[in-house]
Amino acid sequence: MRRREFLSVLGAAALLGSKADAAPRTYRLAAMNPAFPMPEGSPFGDIIIKAMAKYGYVVGQNLIYDSLCPMGDVAKIAPMLAELKSRGADAIIIIGYPTAVAAKAIGIPIVAAVGLGDPVATGLIQSQAHPGGNLTGISDVAAMLSTKRLSLLKELSPKLRKVAMLWNKDDLGMTQRYATSAKSAEAMGFSVQALGVAEPDDFEEAFAAMKAEHPDAILMVTDSLTNLNRKRVFEFAAARKLPAIYEYDFLARDGGLMSYGPDIGESFDRAAALVDRIFKGANPGDLPFEEPTRYPLVVNLKTARAMGLEIPPNLLALADEVLE
């Protein structure tokens, strides 16, 4: 081959190589919610995918989205996370304290979006400003939220004296959140009926305890166990005409009387922003935990009417959304 031809071929090969090197990378994002699936096409899955698109990641172009769900079986969380890791996940968006504990152990960058509890109090991270390890996410401002939820219940039921609190006692994150809620209630002069559950059968015992001691209202702490049994709580509260408040807006839309808590859409959007930084090379342990900025109050007027409860006009005026 002549020298000129050789140099031409060599130059073409180099050009092709540079184009291949410049090809955009495809990232793999995994997600796990221990209560219900979040695949593409599901409500939460679509929220995550739309949030990632805001930062330039599009499924089918430069993003692969993967999701698994143990449907409340905590024993399945670790092996499912290991499977997501084996599929090549670059980062995992997770919900819940048990998921965070298992995800930390597999070494993949983790972004906690919802339901983590206080990660410092439970030992998941070193501090909000410098988490350390492989975990970052959205923090839980339980003290402020507990006081507000109890105030809303008082607004709805001025004679409120005793609040039944229902939570998963086997979930350290939610036990800590219950403790914060109970402390807030006691500071406001309310007594607390503590109803810790650990499995579906325990809900009947909790209902029996409320029938015997008659609380004035219910506050349900949300994790996979209480979420999967939410309809039973809705039905019990309706049958006993007990005002109840829940932590997330989807619970009010699903039949609960009232909810006050972080905006799920914003939480996933903030989580997507953290994933973007991780994809660009940031260490999750160096990314400070962030706090939500929007806390919608949702009132289900249809549920209130079915229970024979009249929602005070001033409470309706405070609501960000009233479901007819």
105 and 206 inside one domain? no
**pLDDT(222) > 90:** yes
**First-to-last C-alpha distance (Å) of the chain:** 81
Q: What strands lie across the sheet with 63-68, from one edge to the other? A: 63-68, 27-32, 91-95, 110-114, 135-137
Q: How many domains does the chain have?
A: 2
Q: Which domain holds residue 227?
A: 142-261+296-323
Q: Quote helix, strand, coil % in the chain, to nearest 5.
A: 45, 20, 35
Q: Which residue has the tokens 């005793």?
A: 162
Indicate whether 108 belongs to any domain.
yes
Co-location of 302 and 206 in the same domain: yes
6 belongs to a structural domain:
no
pLDDT at 155: 96
Q: What is the pLDDT of residue 19?
A: 45
pLDDT at 22 over 60: no
Q: pLDDT tens across 270-298, in order?
A: 999 999 999 999 999 999 999 999 999 99
The verdict on 211 and 243 lying in the same domain is: yes
Q: Could you give the CA distance from residue 110 to residue 90 in angstroms, rounded to a whole number?
A: 9
How open is the CA angle 153-187-193, to the nearest 5 degrees?
60
Instruction: For residues 213 and 311, state if they share a domain.
Output: yes
Q: 29-57: per-residue pLDDT in tens?
A: 999 999 999 999 999 999 999 999 999 99
Q: Number of C-alpha atoms within 13 angstroms, CB side, residue 65?
A: 26
Question: Within this chain, do residues 162 and 307 fall inside the same structural domain, yes or no?
Answer: yes
Confidence of residue 140 (pLDDT cuts 50, 70, 90): confident
pLDDT at position 143 is 83
| Whole-number pLDDT of residue 24 | 82
Tens digits of per-residue pLDDT, 81-139? 999 999 999 999 999 999 999 999 999 999 999 989 899 989 999 999 999 999 999 98
Residue 111 and residue 249 share a domain: no
Give me the mean pLDDT over the 254-261 stretch: 97
**Tell me, what's the pLDDT at 2?**
54
191 in any annotated domain: yes
Q: Is residue 161 part of a domain?
A: yes
> Is 232 a domain residue?
yes
